[in-house]
């Protein structure tokens, strides 16, 4: 036991004696990279896959280090480089989302700030009024407000409207069994651009952790569009009539119309974005400069 402790102390002394500013910087950079990767993969199915991949790699490394298994060691050393090419295929969606977020972090997001503030406020009032009435009637709805990122690829999956935003039209669109009630309405500024649009479903594990069962495809689609863009999504549950708002992969649930309006106005309130390295990393981790501060 004493020999083990002495050996450990010698190894630690050997490491610390060779530490210099560049070695410390090297360790910090590696730590930051792993932190960013784990942060991006948090609450996703990819994290489970990552644990499985790491377990397999550790097991293979252990077995190939045994001299009593020369044939197995040769096989693993030969095939392991090829297996590494499989990783981008497994994690393709996560890699794409990470690169999209990194690209958005390089620029200041518009967030609706470049448009007419009066139009934005009128749009919010109409959306909140429609949402309140949809909630009372328990009519399911999914409304997406475009901010800085272009949603044209999702607009093209629906029916073009190009009409002014109004509570009455939203109520008619989401009336049960009407042709356009399935899918999302996408709004840009003061215009409803499309209805019945198809959105990407979230791969996040957030919804699966909830003990409640009233979150279905609309909620998954709302989370999905918020994960790939800076858009704001409003969801009305057709089962219980609850109102939720989703932004930057975060869902705030069980809202009343007043809280919903406050959150939307806060998101579209003109503000000075955080600049410099702090703002850059904040946009990487959150996908934007500001996000709703309330939690469900």
Give the DSSP H or E segment for 85: none
- Of 37-46, 59-68, 273-282, the range with the lowest mean pLDDT is 273-282
What proportion of the chain, given as a percentage, has pLDDT over 70? 67
User: What is residue 112's predicted lDDT score, i.e. its pLDDT?
Assistant: 43
Distance CA 290, CA 111 (A): 9
The yes-or-no verdict on residue 288 having pLDDT over 60 is no
Q: Where are the beta strands (DSSP E) in 6-164?
A: 141-145, 159-164
Mean pLDDT over 74-99 rounds to 68
181 or 66, which is more confident?
Answer: 181
- Of 73-87, 214-228, 266-280, the range with the lowest mean pLDDT is 266-280
- Of 170-174, 194-198, 290-294, the range with the lowest mean pLDDT is 290-294
Per-residue model confidence as pLDDT tens digits over 122-176: 999 999 999 999 999 999 999 999 987 788 889 999 999 999 999 999 999 999 9
Provide the angle, in degrees to the nearest 10, between the axes of the packed helices 70-84 and 45-64: 150
94: Cβ contacts below 8 Å, ≥ 6 apart: 40, 41, 44, 46, 203
User: What is residue 73's predicted lDDT score, i.e. its pLDDT?
Assistant: 73
User: What is residue 271's predicted lDDT score, i.e. its pLDDT?
Assistant: 46
CB atoms within 10 A of CB 264: 25
Q: 78 burial class (0-12, 13-18, 19+ CB within 10 angstroms)?
A: exposed
User: Mean pLDDT score of the chain, rounded to an integer?
Assistant: 77
Per-residue model confidence as pLDDT tens digits over 97-118: 666 666 655 543 344 444 567 7
DSSP 8-state secondary structure symbol assigned to residue 79:
H
User: What is residue 202's predicted lDDT score, i.e. its pLDDT?
Assistant: 81
The CA angle 227-209-281, to the nearest 5 degrees, is: 35
- Of 86-90, 119-123, 251-255, the range with the lowest mean pLDDT is 86-90
Distance CA 246, CA 254 (A): 12
User: What is residue 295's predicted lDDT score, i.e. its pLDDT?
Assistant: 40
CATH T-level fold of 117-271 = YojJ-like (1 (3.40.1700)
The yes-or-no verdict on residue 241 having pLDDT over 50 is yes
Q: Where are the domains of the chain?
A: 2-105, 117-271
User: What is residue 291's predicted lDDT score, i.e. its pLDDT?
Assistant: 43
User: What is residue 98's predicted lDDT score, i.e. its pLDDT?
Assistant: 62
């Amino acid at each position: 036991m004493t020999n083990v402790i002495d050996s450990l102390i010698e190894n630690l002394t050997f490491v610390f004696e060779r530490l210099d500013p560049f070695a410390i910087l090297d360790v910090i950079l590696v730590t930051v990279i792993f932190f960013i990767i784990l942060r991006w993969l948090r609450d996703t199915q990819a994290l489970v896959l990552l644990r499985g991949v790491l377990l397999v790699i550790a097991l293979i490394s252990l077995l190939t280090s045994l001299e009593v298994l020369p044939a197995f060691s040769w096989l693993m050393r030969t095939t392991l480089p090829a297996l590494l090419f499989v990783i981008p295929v497994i994690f393709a969606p996560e890699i794409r989302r990470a690169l999209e977020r990194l690209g958005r972090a390089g620029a200041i997001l518009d967030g609706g700030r470049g448009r007419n503030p009066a139009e934005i406020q009128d749009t919010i009032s109409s959306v909140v009024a429609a949402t309140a009435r949809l909630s009372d009637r328990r009519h399911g709805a999914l409304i997406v407000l475009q901010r800085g990122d272009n949603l044209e690829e999702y607009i093209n999956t629906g029916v073009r409207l190009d009409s002014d935003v109004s509570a009455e039209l939203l109520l008619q669109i989401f009336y049960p069994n009407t042709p356009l009630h399935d899918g999302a309405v996408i709004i840009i500024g003061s215009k409803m651009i499309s209805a019945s649009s198809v959105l990407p479903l979230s791969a996040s594990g957030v919804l699966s952790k909830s003990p409640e069962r009233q979150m279905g495809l609309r909620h998954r689609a709302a989370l999905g569009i918020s994960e790939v863009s800076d858009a704001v999504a409003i969801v009305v549950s057709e089962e219980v009539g609850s109102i939720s708002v989703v932004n930057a992969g975060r869902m705030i649930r069980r809202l009343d119309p007043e809280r919903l309006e406050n959150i939307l106005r806060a998101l579209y309130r003109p503000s000075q974005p955080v600049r410099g390295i702090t703002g850059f990393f904040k946009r990487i981790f959150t996908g934007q400069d500001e996000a709703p501060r309330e939690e469900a």
